[in-house]
Structure 1
Amino acid sequence: MVTIHYQPRQKTALWALALGLCSLLLVNLSVWHKEGVWRDGEPVMLALAPKDPRSLMQGDYMALDYVVARELRQALQHDGHWQPNLQGWMLVTLQAQGAAVYRGYRFTNTDIDMTGQQRLLPFKVRNGRVRIASNAWFFEEGQASHFNAARYGEFRLAHDGELLLVGLRDENLQPL
């Protein structure tokens, strides 16, 4: 007769190790993807309509709102499409140095006839606000005066439509 010794602690430890390694792999793949968007994505500048609240829990940050987001909200409301939970694509035209100008919206990104400088940016409506990528820029404590000069959010647009905030720029589109 063969006796099998069940060792639940070893089995649990192996599962924990495997899950930990899978978690690290997923996090690293996400970082690798974001670095690729940062490095290879197309530059897009969105004019800011900034606010500057403070958060004791999170440190200093600038809440960001975009001129194109306000224009999109007005268009959605005017057309009767405004809903609290909505997503789609905003059509913009890229001007000099990648500055984007609002041109319209779509609810799908297929069968759209675009010119050479037009791009589709993803948007979502959540909690009564149009969200385009990031809505906050965090900075080191005491640097608020430096970022008060921000007039544009600098983004990178990936081929799949992902939009990544990578910096802030002044009125002359110079990096801060």
Structure 2
Amino acid sequence: MSTTQSERLRELLEPLVASQGLDLEEIAVDSVGRKRVLRVVVDSDTGADLDRIADVSRALSAKLDETDAMGEGEYTLEVGTPGAERSLTEHRHYVRATDRLVRFQLHEGGELAARILAVDDDGLDLEVPGVKGRKATTRRLAFADIDKARVQVEFNRKDDGGGKNDKNDKNVKNDKEEEEA
């Protein structure tokens, strides 16, 4: 896709996406056989559920149909969110990833996996997990030191508040057993 087409599409679609309370994160046009696919990625601080995606998809489709931004040929419009393992490229992405585990590629050549604790204008406060029984440590990382950053999917995360729920579940079970006895 030419830069000119990308810029025209962004100028055309970004105000419409913003009017729906979403951020336009990415636009890509790919050729799939004889058809073209326009992929639009949107997000917000509170996420985007299926209803919001459907609403913005209808609005974008109507706007594209009334213009010649995609040219004369057929195309398919796909609207979605960045996904679980999203790349962090903007300040707002880091804010949205607070309390998430992120893998950082550093300018100095190293790699770091850490949880984002806080974000400010200059950088991040991180919690680096302990290795081999050691306690986690905190670290400050400046945005200037980050080459790439990607959210990591966690399947076995131990939630700090998890014990309370387990205890409450046991208490409910014990209360029911006592009532039955």
Alignment TM class, shorter chain as reference: under 0.3
TM-score (norm 2): 0.21
**Greater RCO (CA < 8 Å, at least 6 residues apart):** 1
